[in-house]
Structure 1
Amino acid sequence: MKPEKEPEVIDLAARRKAVQAREAAEKAARDKAARLARSGGAVLGGRKHAGLILVVVILIALAIYLGPRFL
């Protein structure tokens, strides 16, 4: 007669590694959220010069749009 359920073998080392990886991912997510909260969030993304690039693009667009009106 067969038992209803076969006994399951659990690798404790693999389970520990999985738990440690999960805890490390949670800690990294908490640290990232804390950094963003301190900096006020990144409205323009993570690029250092995103604001300057945005201003240049807006100025070029204004020059293309308003330039012909004054010529």
Structure 2
Amino acid sequence: MKPEKEPEVVDLAERRKAIQAREAAARAARKKAARQARSGGSVLGGRRHAGLILAAIVLALLALFVLPRFL
């Protein structure tokens, strides 16, 4: 007859550290969500210079398609 389950050794310090890390990650996620909600969020995402990149692309497309019609 086999024993149903072998006893396991649990390191309580390691388990406590894992719980604290999980709680810290959850706390950081809540803070980040609150910060984004307070700022209204970003339409262009998290990139710092996304607006400048978008403006450069729009200007390049305008130069490519609109300017030749006036020349």
> Which interval holds the TM-score relative to the shorter structure?
0.7 to 0.9
User: What displacement does 1:2 show?
Assistant: 5.3
Q: Which residue of 1 aligns with 2:39?
A: 39
Calculate percent identity across the aligned residue pairs: 73
Q: Which residue of 1 aligns with 2:62?
A: 62
Q: Which amino acid is the alignment partner of residue 56 of structure 1?
A: A
Runs of 5+ in structure 1 lacking a partner? none
Moved over 3 A (4+): none
What is the total number of aligned residue pairs between the two structures?
A: 71
Runs of 5+ in structure 2 lacking a partner? none
For the residue of structure 2 that corresponds to 1:5, the secondary structure is coil
Over the residues paired in the alignment, what is the CA RMSD in angstroms? 1.6
